Every structure is written in C-alpha cells, then in structure tokens.
Structure 1
Amino acid sequence: MSVSTVTPSSSVDTTSSSTSSAMQTQTMDYDSFLQLMVTQMKNQDPTEPTDMGEQMGQLASFSNVEQNIQTNNKLDAVLSQLYVNQSASLIGKTITTTNNISGQIESVGIYSDGVVAKLQDGTDVLIGPGVTIS
C-alpha cells in the first residue's frame, strides 16, 4: 500500500501583512489534500482497499499541522504588536552599546532580524544583548 504525501506549493511568509495570503495558501493545500484523498479512494484497487484508519490518521495529522501553522501565525502577529508597543516607548531615551556607541533614540524600526534604533546622529543600533537604554 502506498502513502501519499502533500507538500505545500509555496512557502508561508510569517509577516503580519501576508497572514491572510498564507491562510489562503494553507486552505488550498488542505483542500488539495482532501481532493487527493477522495481521488485515492475512487481509484483504489477493490481487491485491496486502503485502510480507512490510516487515511483518517493522515487527515488528522495534516489537520494538526495546519492548526500549528495558524497558531504560529497568530503568535507572530502578537509578537509584532508587542515589538511595536515596546518600541514606541524607546523614542527619546538614551541608548549605549558595549562598543561605546551612545545617543538619543530618534526613531525605531522593526525588521525581521530585530528592533533597530536610529539615533539623532543617523547611527543605526540593533537593540539586543549588551545594549543599555536609560
């Protein structure tokens, strides 16, 4: 008996701006999986039918993966909002790094690699370990 696997046709972008697009892609993949399962059932050999328990197990596993992806997308959105809320409170404060870069924070940007503070002199500082804000 063969086991069919479904691979996503595109990668899922976890930025909040593409969450709805990612959800549509996941839904299409889920629908494709269901269509594949129905087609497999229609075309199976009647003398050796596929085990329904195994098919239901595949469906349950795929459903769990889909739910985990949706949960991760929601957590990413919450984390992004947390970054925005915390970053806004940094403007006007003084930042000092272990490399002796120091200055007042003029603006804050949120990027995939973290939060970056732009100082009044134009210097960009990645906020992370070794950075003091006062």
Structure 2
Amino acid sequence: MTTIPPTGNTSGTSNADANDKTKNSTLNYNDFLKLMVAQLRNQDPLNPTDSTQYMSQIAQFSSVEQGINTNAKLDQLLVNSNISQASTMIGLSLTSADGSVSGIVTSVRIDSTGSTAILNNGKEVRIDQGVVLGYQ
C-alpha cells in the first residue's frame, strides 16, 4: 500500500483556514489534479497504474463538475425568474387561494421556501397556485 503525503503546507494553518475547510468540504478540479499528481509521484515504478484509469477518472470528475456547474446556473436562473415575477406583482391586487385575505401587493419576499406577498394591510400571502392577481 502506498502512502500519499500531504499536497500542501499544513503546519501553519490557522483557525480561519480550518473553518474555511469545514465550510467547503467538497473537492474541486484543482484538488483532484493535486491528488492525481501525488498518486503518480508515489506509485510503484515497477508496477505503474494504467493510464486509461487516470483518463477515465478525469472524464468522470469533469462530468460531475459540469453537472454541478449546470445546477448552479439553473438555480441562479430560477432566482432571477422569481425576482422578475415578483417585480411585476407590486401594485397589483391579490386575493389568497381561499379568498380569505386580499389587498394590494406592496412588496414581495423571496426565500428558499418560495415567494410571499406583503400586502398594504400588513398581511402576508404565500404565492402559490390559486392566488388571484388583478388590477385595482
């Protein structure tokens, strides 16, 4: 079994560095390349690893990284769409799906659970299916 030495200087890490590493516990492409280089440097010269395995690992990692990037871009697109939709609601009358709450939309709050309209009477209505928007 081959032991792979650390790829960076760990003797001078601070608490801030440790906290950053805890927050970001995923590997990126550069981390993968560092690990691969360390593996290449420390492999048994009499029994080297097959190069096709390295190419396969790089292709798989690249595919996963592209998927992560795509998801991040889709998340941003969804946020932009919600903001655009929210901006068009301000000033319109809104009635909740059950008809119990109505008023004029003064602002819209967007968070991880969805969008909520804040009405001129101080009441809040979650913007879901069935909510009716109209002109005053």
TM-score by length of 2: 0.73
Other structure's SS at 1:108 match = strand
Other structure's SS at 1:116 match = strand
Q: Note if contact 2:93-2:103 (Cα within 8 Å) is conserved in structure 1.
A: yes
Is the alpha carbon distance of 1:34 and 1:56 closer, same or farther for their aligned partners in structure 2, counting shifts above 3 Å? same
Q: Note if contact 2:104-2:120 (Cα within 8 Å) is conserved in structure 1.
A: yes
Residue 57 of structure 1 aligns to which amino acid in structure 2?
Answer: S
- How far has the Cα of 1:11 moved from its partner? 6.3
Larger-Rg structure: 2
What are structure 2's unaligned runs of at least 5 residues?
A: 3-20
Is the alpha carbon distance of 1:45 and 1:63 closer, same or farther for their aligned partners in structure 2, counting shifts above 3 Å? same
Aligned to 1:89: 88
How many pairs were matched up?
115
Aligned to 1:131: 131
CA distance in 1 between partners of 2:72 and 2:102 (Å) = 35
Aligned to 2:111: 111
Aligned to 2:6: none
The alignment yields a C-alpha RMSD, in angstroms, of 2.4
What are structure 1's unaligned runs of at least 5 residues?
A: 3-8, 13-24
TM-score by length of 1: 0.74
